[in-house]
Amino acid sequence: MSNENRYNAIIRIHCPDKEGIIASVTNFIKKYSGNVVALDQHVDISNNHFFMRVEWEMESFQLPFDEIEKQFQNEIADSFQMHWTLNSTKQHPKMALFVSRLSHCIYDLLARYQAKELEVEIPVIISNHLELKPIAEQFGIEFHHFHITKENKEDQEEKELILLKEKGVDFVVLARYMQIISPKFIESYPNNIINIHHSFLPAFAGAKPYHAAYERGVKIIGATSHYVTENLDAGPIIDQDIIRISHNDSIKSLVQKGKDIEKIVLSRAVKAHVNRKTLVYKNRTVIFN
C-alpha cells in the first residue's frame, strides 16, 4: 500500500444476541461511506451470544480513524452492550518470541517475518538458554537471556515484563519455550500469549507428549496452538493439525514428524492473531474468515 490513507479498519465485537446488530453496525459504516471488504459473524446459540468481525476501507471513510472509537461507542456499542476492539491494518503488532533450545518454530517464524509474510515487528527474542542466540543474530534481532531457576523465577519474570513493556510488546509467542509461565505474567498479557503444544490437546497434555503417544500406540499425532491461561495446556485453542503415523515410528521419528506440524500450526495461529481474526469467549475461540 503506497498511500498513507490506503488501510483498513477492523472491529471485533461480541455481545448478547439480539435482532438488528448486523444492520446497525453496517449502517454505521455505510453512513460514513465506508466500504466493507470482509464481514464474518457467528451466533453461539447455546449461550445466545453474538460475534462479529468487520473490516472496511478507510480511504473514503468520512470519520478520522481516531474518532471512530468514540462515535461507535455512542452510536452503536452502548445500546447492544458490546465488548469490542478497533484496530487498523497500519499498526503492526509487536511480538516477543520466547524460546528454549529447539529451533524449528523460531526458524519458521523468522523466515516468514523476513519474507514479509507476517505483518509484525519483532523487537526481542527471550530465552532461558543460550543455544538459539546465533539464530537471533542471524536475523539481526535482539536476544535476551534469562536463566530461570525455581528460586529466581518470580524475579526473572518481573524483569522480562519490564523489558517487554520497554519494547512495547503487544503479544508473546512461546515457540517451544520449555517453562511454565506464572499467573502474574499471564495476567499482564491476557489472551495475548500464544503457545504451541506438541500434541493433539486435550490428549497428552503435560510433559513428554510424544512419549505418551508412543506408549498409547496412537495412529495420528497432532499439535495445538492455544492462548495461555492459568490452567496448563487448557487455554482457548486457536488451531490444531495432525499427521498420520504408524507402528514403524519410533519416539525419535514422532518427534521429527511432529516438528513439521508444530511449526505450521504455530505460524497459522500467529497469523490469525496478527490479522485480528481471533476472539476469545468462555475459554473457546471464534476464528473469523
Which residue ranges make up the site for a copy of itself (CB under 8 A)? 19-20, 22-23, 26-27, 29-30, 33-46, 51, 103-104, 107-108, 111-112, 114-115, 117, 138-139, 200-204, 216-220, 222, 236-242, 244, 246-248, 250, 256, 259-260, 264, 267, 283-287, 289
When the beta carbons of 2 and 46 are compared against a copy of itself, the nearer one is: 46
Out of 170, 233, 239, 249, pick the active-site residue: 233
Instruction: Considering the complex, state which of residue 26 and residue 188 has its C-beta at the smaller distance from a copy of itself.
Output: 26
Smallest distance from a copy of itself to CB 6, Å: 14
Whether 233 is a known active-site residue: answer yes
| Shortest separation between residue 136's beta carbon and a copy of itself, angstroms | 12
Q: Between 77 and 286, whose beta carbon lies closer to a copy of itself?
A: 286
Look at residue 10 and give its three-state secondary structure: strand
Show Cβ contacts of residue 188 under 8 Å, excluding neighbours closer than 6 positions. 161, 164
Reading the block at residue 236, the C-alpha cell is: 482457548
Instruction: Please name which of 236, 243, 237, 268 lies closest in space to residue 258, comparing C-alpha atoms.
Output: 243
Name the burial class of residue 286, with classes exposed (0-12), middle (13-18) and buried (19+) by CB atoms within 10 angstroms of its CB: buried
CA 197 distance to own-chain centroid? 14
Task: Report, in Å, the least distance between residue 55 CB and a copy of itself.
Answer: 11
Residue 93 vs 236, nearer CB to a copy of itself: 236
Is 239 in contact with 265 (CB distance < 8 Å)?
yes
Question: Residue written as cell 488501510?
Answer: 7
User: How close are the terminal C-alpha atoms of the chain, in Å?
Assistant: 22
Least CB distance from residue 82 to a copy of itself, whole Å?
16
| CB 147 to a copy of itself: min, Å | 23
Q: Name which of 157 and 233 has its Cβ closer to a copy of itself.
A: 233
What are the E-state strand segments in the chain? Answer: 8-16, 35-44, 49-57, 83-88, 94-99, 121-127, 143-145, 171-174, 193-197, 220-227, 237-244, 278-281, 284-287
**What does the alpha-carbon distance between residue 101 and residue 49 come to, in Å, rounded to a whole number?**
42
Active site residues: 233
